[in-house]
Amino acid sequence: MNDDLDPRTEYLLRLGDNALILGHRLSEWCGHGPALEEDIALSNIALDLIGQATLWLGRAGVSEGAGRDAEDLAYKRDVLDWRNCLLVEQPNGDFAVTIVRQFLFDCHHHALLEGLAGSRDAEVAAIAAKALKEVTYHRRHSGEWLIRLGDGTGESHARAQAALDLLWGYSHELLEADAVDEEMAARGIGIEPSGLKPAWDAMVTPVLAEATLRRPDDAWSVRGGRQGIHTEHLGYLLAEMQYLPRAYPDARW
């Protein structure tokens, strides 16, 4: 477990783990996209996220001071040590599920990075400012797709609504603070997630309206990823992602 990590390391791990797990999920679409352009788009977004994860996890390793680099953190941690939110580890499902997952995360990611670009921590600010440019494209892409699916055919609307109903309960975790967030915000390094709610709503609400999708009620929600309590899906993802470096430790090619 990571119980003894200092808050800054923990915070950097969360940022890196979100980016890496979602990047890996999107990379599963490579070669399976519904159209060539979309296959390339999802792979490009995956590449951006995996690049961002490399930056965050690299800093997390330095911050931890135990000699672990980004690769060690990506390939040699077991499921309980991962700090990503539950939303990003959910399976790709159909294209509507992938797009809804992406849109809910992108809206959060964009608001968060905008805040972190003004962090008192120069390393955090630099990575955030860089990533923000990329995520601006991601959010636009997922938002436009959600409108097209929701306001599309009867079939695409039904699938988009089902995807939204399926994933909505995982979005609450993105906007809730715990002790790590509070301490990072107090030190001017991080952002208090609940403060992102107005910005998140301002992005999500108009897109859902234009997509003619019903905002699900908040009756059911689930959380725990940041504390290492994951859904059953993460273990399978890690088994695939970590297979090679674990089967052939320190392999080089």
Partner 1 sequence: MRGGRAMTRERQAAERRPATGPSALWEVLEAVSDPEIPGLSIRDLGVLRDVEAANGTVTVTITPTYSGCPAMTFIEMSIRDVLLRAGAEAVEVKTVLAPSWTTDWLTEAGRAKLRDLGIAPPEGRAAGKAALFGADPEVPCPRCGSKNTRQLSRFGSTACKALYHCDGCLEPFDYFKCI
- Binding residues for partner 1, rule: CB under 8 A, are 37-38, 40-41, 44-45, 47-52, 54-55, 122, 125-127, 129-131, 133-134, 136-137, 139-141, 143-144, 203
* 45/86 with CB nearer partner 1: 45
CB of 127 to partner 1, least distance (A): 6
- Are 102 and 138 in contact by the 8 Å Cβ rule? The answer is yes
CB of 38 to partner 1, least distance (A): 8
User: For residue 167, what is the enclosing H or E element?
Assistant: helix 154-171
CB of 236 to partner 1, least distance (A): 24
3-state secondary structure of 66: coil
* 21/203 with CB nearer partner 1: 203
* 38/182 with CB nearer partner 1: 38
CB of 210 to partner 1, least distance (A): 10
* 38/81 with CB nearer partner 1: 38
DSSP string, 198-247: HHHHHHHHHHHHHTTPPPPPSS-----GGGT---THHHHHHHHHTHHHHH
- Are 43 and 138 in contact by the 8 Å Cβ rule? The answer is no
Tokens 């990379």 locate to: 27
* 44/242 with CB nearer partner 1: 44
Q: How far apart are CA 147 and CA 151, in angstroms?
A: 6
CB of 229 to partner 1, least distance (A): 29
* Residue 113, token pair as written in the block: 């990075």
